[in-house]
Amino acid sequence: MRIYIAGSGAMGCRFGYQLQKSGEDVVLLDNWEDHIAAIQKNGLTIVGDEPDNVPMTIMKPTQAKDVADFIILFTKAMQLPSMLEDIKQIIGAHTKVLCLLNGLGHEDTIRKYIKEENILMGVTVWTAGLKGPGVAILQGKGTINMQSFDKNGAESSREIVDVMNKAGLNVIYDEDVLPSIWRKACVNGTMNSTCALCDCTIGEFFATEDALHTVRCIIHEFCEVGIASGIKLNEKEIVDYVMHVSEIAAPHYPSMHQDLVQNHRLTEIDFINGAVARRGKKLGIDTPYCQMITDLIHAKEHILKIA
């Protein structure tokens, strides 16, 4: 199967690496010049659980020419529209496209480029990091929940599930994936932005009663807006899940902290808390916590002169 990874940062490298190892024909697409140069010169280097070094094909998205059987989107959320524009030439009538980005509402962007029966939406708890250009940090294991966006695409998605499972990616075909996507967004919406703003680890943030109050208010806003949008969410179950993740991930700085505080990169806030605030406005639901957190992250992006 000809597979393109559209956005080959940390997660794109993980998925591309595992799929190539399992025998698939994988091409990484990316726009970061140093990363492309490093992989072209030295191959993709893996550090972490099972160190490795493998040659991999990588190029800029506009350089890809052959129509894809399968594309996995792994840009940061704000890079998604330009990536889809840059890969138009490899999207055929039968090209399946899987979105595993964190955040909400990506289906609205993707359906402008891809037929609904070819869109797969999902969520993953696999993780990855980048040590530098061409060097991915792969630790731990994960799973993926995914579903065809349109019921007509469910049957033809089975092959994709099989290919990914052959690569050890642990895919579950989910008959209703949106609640899982929103649940993950709640995790990101309570930990990412808050730890970036407070400049602390997840464990440090969740250790204070004031912070826990904020966490509960954010989850409440996500659930009110999600339920009003027709997503089946159980607020108590989500609170328990977020608390559980906060314990497992306690020593870590979440990715938004890494992006904003450590690397001075733009954040995905508009697709997490910001998406809930925007949708809340349309539905007439107040979301003061999500709105304020979004505003504060944007303020920080401006202070750092990256916005």
Question: By C-alpha distance, which of 292, 294, 302, 231 is closest to 264?
Answer: 302
- What is the torsional sign of CA 298, 101, 243, 141? negative
Q: Which residue, 68 or 187, is less far from ligand NAD as judged by CB?
A: 187
Report the residue number, 187 or 224, with the smaller CB distance to ligand NAD: 187
Under the binding rule (CB under 6 A), the answer on residue 190 touching ligand NAD is: no
**How far is Cα 9 from Cα 299, in angstroms, rounded to an integer?**
26
For ligand NAD, which residue of 3, 5, 10, 56 counts as binding (CB under 6 A)? Answer: 10
* Residue span binding ligand NAD (CB under 6 A) among the ranges 29-37, 168-176, 216-224, 239-247: 29-37
Q: Does 255 bind ligand NAD (CB under 6 A)?
A: yes
Q: Which is nearer to ligand NAD, 139 or 152 (CB)?
A: 139
CA distances from 282 to 78, 101, 205 (A): 21, 23, 31
Per DSSP, the residues of 92-160 read -TT-EEEE--SSS-HHHHHTTTS-GGGEEEEEE----EEEETTEEEE-S---EEEEESSGGGHHHHHHH
Please choose, out of 2-10, 113-121, 151-159, 231-239, the segment that lies near ligand NAD by the rule CB under 6 A.
2-10
Interface size with ligand NAD, residues (CB under 6 A): 20
Strand partners, 129: 137
In whole angstroms, how close is the CB of 75 to ligand NAD at the nearest point?
Answer: 6
C-alpha atoms less than 13 angstroms from C-alpha of 228 in its C-beta half-sphere: 16
Q: What is the DSSP code (8-state) at residue 72?
A: E
71 forms beta bridges with 4, 97
State the nearest-atom distance from the C-beta of 217 to ligand NAD, in Å: 23
Out of 95, 102, 180, 194, point to the residue binding ligand NAD (CB under 6 A).
102
- Residue 32 as a binder of ligand NAD (CB under 6 A): the answer is yes
181 near 104, Cβ under 8 Å? yes
Q: Give DSSP secondary structure letters for 183-225.
A: HHHHHHHHHHHHHHHHT--HHHHHTSHHHHHHHHHHHHHHHHH
Among 76, 96, 184, 300, the one annotated catalytic: 184
Q: Is 60 a catalytic residue?
A: no
Angle at CA of residue 68, ends 272 and 21, nearest 5°: 85
- When asked if residue 122 is in the footprint of ligand NAD (CB under 6 A), the reply is no
Binding letters toward ligand NAD, positions 197-236, x by CB under 6 A: ----------------------------------------
Q: Binding marks (x or -) toward ligand NAD, 66..85, rule CB under 6 A?
A: --------xxxx--------
- Residue 48 or 203: the one with the smaller Cβ distance to ligand NAD is 48
Give the one residue of 9, 16, 179, 274 binding ligand NAD; rule: CB under 6 A.
9
Cα dihedral 80→83→89→91 (10° resolution): -30
Least distance in angstroms from the C-beta of 213 to ligand NAD: 26
Give the residues lining the site for ligand NAD (CB under 6 A). 7, 9-12, 30, 32, 35, 74-77, 101-102, 124, 127-128, 130, 255, 268
Just list the catalytic residues.
184
